[in-house]
Amino acid sequence: MKKSVLIIFFLLTAAFANAQTKFCFVDTDYILKHIPEYKAAQLQLDDLSAQWQKEVDAKYVEIEKLYKSYQAEQVLLADDLRKKREDEIVDKEKQVKEFQKTKFGFQGDLSKQREELIKPIQDQVLNVVQSIAKQKKFDKIFDQSADAIVLYSEKKYDISNLVVKYMNQKDKKKAREELVESRKQVQNAARQKVLDQRKQKMDSIRQAKTEQQQKN
């Protein structure tokens, strides 16, 4: 943090030392919140997160029921049955934790979806900022939402609204089409996963039947 403050301090000092240097500020957090495509992408991510969390909660409810049932019947169970019930509960807990890791962990599905949906929009913002810098002949543009702390800045040096204006004037139709296509890809991937799981299950059933027939 101190390093970031020193960097921004020296950059600003150098800018003020040279009267010819033109600089301004943007707030990328503010910009993104005012872009419809970003809002739509964020809603999609929120929906996915809520859906997966609902699945996690349901799995834990199932485990809780199994555990309570096991506690109620524990004294009546033979050693082998007791161990079997305990192993079943432990296995289900492992499965839930693995599911959580797959969906919410580092480089999990949610992280990958965020990268897929949000990064293109962030790249667009960066391109617009660079375009404005060239048009307005700015030498430096600082991001107020980054690690570098800006203790004070005149509003006239903040071009965040100008960036938002440029972003919303860009090819909205193309942006919407890209977002729809991205959603389709996510939905198709999820649908294909379900189909693959069903096929695998059916193949297992057929194999079991074949083995049974061979034994008979």
Task: List, as one string, the DSSP characters of 23-36.
Answer: EEEE-HHHHHHT-H
Residue 139 has pLDDT above 70, yes or no: yes
Which tokens go with 200? 């695998």
pLDDT tens per residue across span 4-24: 444 444 454 454 445 566 778
pLDDT digits (tens, 9 = 90+) for 174-193: 656 665 666 677 667 767 77
Model confidence pTM above 0.85: no
Torsion angles phi and psi, residue 139, rounded to 5: -85, -35
pLDDT computed for residue 147 by the predictor: 61
Distance CA 98, CA 101 (A): 5
Name which residue leads in pLDDT, 173 or 100. Answer: 100
User: Phi-psi bin for 137: left (phi > 0), alpha (psi -120 to 50), beta?
Assistant: left
pLDDT over threshold 90, residue 136: no
Q: Letter for the amino acid at 175?
A: A
